[in-house]
Structure 1
């Protein structure tokens, strides 16, 4: 015990040095996006001036903005996935050389330029990125990440079809390839989830491209994922092996010989959230793992159990409980993650099933149903799903400074008359700290 405490104190000087590098850094406080005819403008608002550089990349089309000696507020990070326009698919970010790199993923080529704007009025220094392109599509409402930081958000599910590109994955009976099967299932799963109100699906790949394991976890982190689902269709040394299964991460021993074998096939490096532990003190590595991953693993097991219960109506199961193994793609300390083995392409029956579009759609639907059931029962507090459930059941609202009764009614989706009636109010006079019952809508 004393050795552990001593080790933590020994780390404090190192942590102070790391944090001191950011004391004087500018911070990205807000990002706003607006679209006009043929132009999308992004404005990056800072609290201090900072140098920047911009360049473009193709195949796929991207614009990269590096802001030096800067950081980004957590509120912006949490809502980065909300930024889009008719040409802007998404905005990603990464910390880089004491600064922040933003990558703007585009759906076509653009002419890009940047302009530095000085502080003025209520605004601090700003960097404006203009994306000029051809005929505009549907107009996009101006979005400000700072203003939507408390908005009702979607539950984000990142779907990762395994392998791809130069890596075909398992090759099975009837010449089926794992990378093709899992991409088809992944796209269908994304379509099913996106059809649910309050759920947003993000694919790590939507084409036949190769992604490293680190890239898959990075995409999930940049999308602020609530869940990562990695989809596979493996082969085994024995053609008799069959059955779908759901896996979560294990920090200790694998739960089966199959788990040891599969983990060995799917990984090439031992990472935790993209950070190698090879050079870390063993005690520090254990503390990092234990503190950050235990609750995440438990949630992964719970989600996996819900998905497995739905899959058994479609597929033969290899195991009827969630299995655990050390898959690299599941090792994001703060993102619940499951890996689904949809079957074994080395088995003739399952290779035939997985070659069927009808079967793949049924399987994707069962996975989507399991995800929907879990988040309906366990929605994140700031999500639309949680808000919708409150609306159905009614709840209590505490009056804050500046609130009016009509505004409270509007924000909570009820009529002013219903709000008065639920609280037996004779007029619209309210006071700070007052508890109001919000009736079911």
Structure 2
């Protein structure tokens, strides 16, 4: 009889606390702060905002907590304190997030996926532009001095780890490491500049990635990933471009979003704005823009595969087609590069090494540079260099006269004489005329 009473008491205690809050993770990004509550089962919740001071209150019904608040890694500039408080009923658990500013939270549950179980996600968008780091605004460069801009998208990030290797390494860290190396190579090349869609371990919405590239006036978007399959055997890199079916679906979407058509690059947005809303002309210009974007994507991918095949194993020697959201821009050539298979134990180890990451980044850079040397966009420094027209170079941090001379293929003596320099010393921000080859 005593055993039965003990069992009944235990059963009622389990029923009263049907869920467990297991951990709280905070992911700050340039656009928002994401809070993730890891739960043992699907959460039942309510939330509301308070002022004076600003607070977000989350009530988790039928829940108890295992969280030690001292262990929460909070790097957010928006959240000052995470604590608990007295719940409205004894079987609930109340969380309080003290905030510096008022926000409009977006709260939603997530089902188990990958290494993660049930989660409750809270997105806190920054309400003012001063809180989010912005890319430095650049004045339009004069004709003949514009840079070829490459947007680099490090796949996954933050709450989205991507694929997980046999040794539990996450794709998101590998993609960011390769992307940083690639950006560094691009930024050191005269006439080229990199824009990164994320610079740290946080999640960026797939649609937002294309928008960042567009705002950065990108000529090309490269999305860096690491492949994964259930079978641990496959190895090697591959390059993917947008499939025709996905391209057609995206065209339909852009035709409906008339207010956004003016955002398109390459002049097509301006041309569409002059069609007075004629759907047939709009469709024609969008089709032409998408056709050119996809053709350029395929051509660039061939250059990249050729360069990668010289230094790393290839899984596919030809570009592959896929329906991927990050490739959908009708105005920006977009590629997805699989650096290798994180699901393969040997390749997982390779992808973690600085040497292999640099090989991949260098090969991608060589392929991109090869394409734009042969097909320089009009009005760019690369186009001027191809036609032998005069070029200008603005001295950057860490550059010397000899380094600049080497990059442009001229002697130090000729560079000094052309600019009437009395010494080999150059200043950051100094503009040099580059003599023709």
Structure 2 length normalisation: TM-score? 0.51
Q: Which of 374, 377, 380 is 2:377 aligned to?
A: 380
* Aligned: 1:189 with 2:182: yes
Q: State whether residues 271 and 331 of structure 1, in contact with CA within 8 Å, keep that contact through their aligned partners in structure 2.
A: yes
Query: Aligned partners of 2:390 and 2:191: how far apart in 1?
Result: 18
* Aligned: 1:242 with 2:235: yes
* Aligned: 1:343 with 2:336: no
Query: Aligned partners of 2:139 and 2:330: how far apart in 1?
Result: 25
- 1:326–1:288 CA distance, 2 compared to 1 (3 A): farther
- 1:292–1:214 CA distance, 2 compared to 1 (3 A): same
- 1:59–1:251 CA distance, 2 compared to 1 (3 A): farther
Partner of 1:246, secondary structure, is strand
- 1:276–1:329 CA distance, 2 compared to 1 (3 A): farther
Q: CA deviation at 1:249?
A: 0.8
**Cα-to-partner distance string for 1:20-55 (whole Å, 9 max, x where unaligned):** xxxxxxxxxxxxxxxxxxxxxxxxxxxxxxxxxxxx
Q: CA deviation at 1:390?
A: 2.0
Query: Aligned runs of 1:65-214 on 2, under 5 Å?
Result: 145=139, 148-150=141-143, 152-214=145-207
Query: Aligned runs of 1:417-432 on 2, under 5 Å?
Result: none
Q: CA deviation at 1:393?
A: 10
Q: CA deviation at 1:326?
A: 1.4
Query: Aligned partners of 1:379 and 1:103: how far apart in 2?
Result: 35
Query: Aligned partners of 2:164 and 2:363: how far apart in 1?
Result: 25
Larger Rg: 2
Q: Which of 300, 303, 306 is 1:309 aligned to?
A: 306
* Aligned: 1:328 with 2:325: yes
Q: CA deviation at 1:349?
A: 1.5
- 1:347–1:283 CA distance, 2 compared to 1 (3 A): farther
**Cα-to-partner distance string for 1:46-65 (whole Å, 9 max, x where unaligned):** xxxxxxxxxxxx959xxxxx
Partner of 2:388, secondary structure, is helix
Partner of 2:167, secondary structure, is helix
**Cα-to-partner distance string for 1:239-271 (whole Å, 9 max, x where unaligned):** 1122210011111389xxxxxxxxxxxxxxx75
Q: State whether residues 389 and 436 of structure 2, in contact with CA within 8 Å, keep that contact through their aligned partners in structure 1.
A: yes
Query: Aligned partners of 1:329 and 1:276: how far apart in 2?
Result: 19
Q: State whether residues 245 and 319 of structure 1, in contact with CA within 8 Å, keep that contact through their aligned partners in structure 2.
A: yes
Query: Aligned partners of 1:206 and 1:235: how far apart in 2?
Result: 23
Query: Aligned runs of 1:289-300 on 2, under 5 Å?
Result: 290-300=287-297
Q: CA RMSD in A?
A: 3.7
Alignment correspondent of 2:349? 352
Query: Aligned partners of 2:282 and 2:194: how far apart in 1?
Result: 32
Structure 1 length normalisation: TM-score? 0.51
Partner of 1:313, secondary structure, is coil
**Cα-to-partner distance string for 1:135-165 (whole Å, 9 max, x where unaligned):** xxxxx9xx9947x453611000000000000
Q: State whether residues 271 and 328 of structure 1, in contact with CA within 8 Å, keep that contact through their aligned partners in structure 2.
A: no
Q: Which of 223, 231, 241 is 2:216 aligned to?
A: 223
Q: CA deviation at 1:107?
A: 5.9
- 1:106–1:387 CA distance, 2 compared to 1 (3 A): farther
**Cα-to-partner distance string for 1:286-306 (whole Å, 9 max, x where unaligned):** 767633311110100000000
Query: Aligned partners of 2:308 and 2:231: how far apart in 1?
Result: 23
- 1:244–1:286 CA distance, 2 compared to 1 (3 A): farther
Partner of 1:174, secondary structure, is coil
Q: State whether residues 159 and 204 of structure 1, in contact with CA within 8 Å, keep that contact through their aligned partners in structure 2.
A: yes
Q: CA deviation at 1:358?
A: 0.8
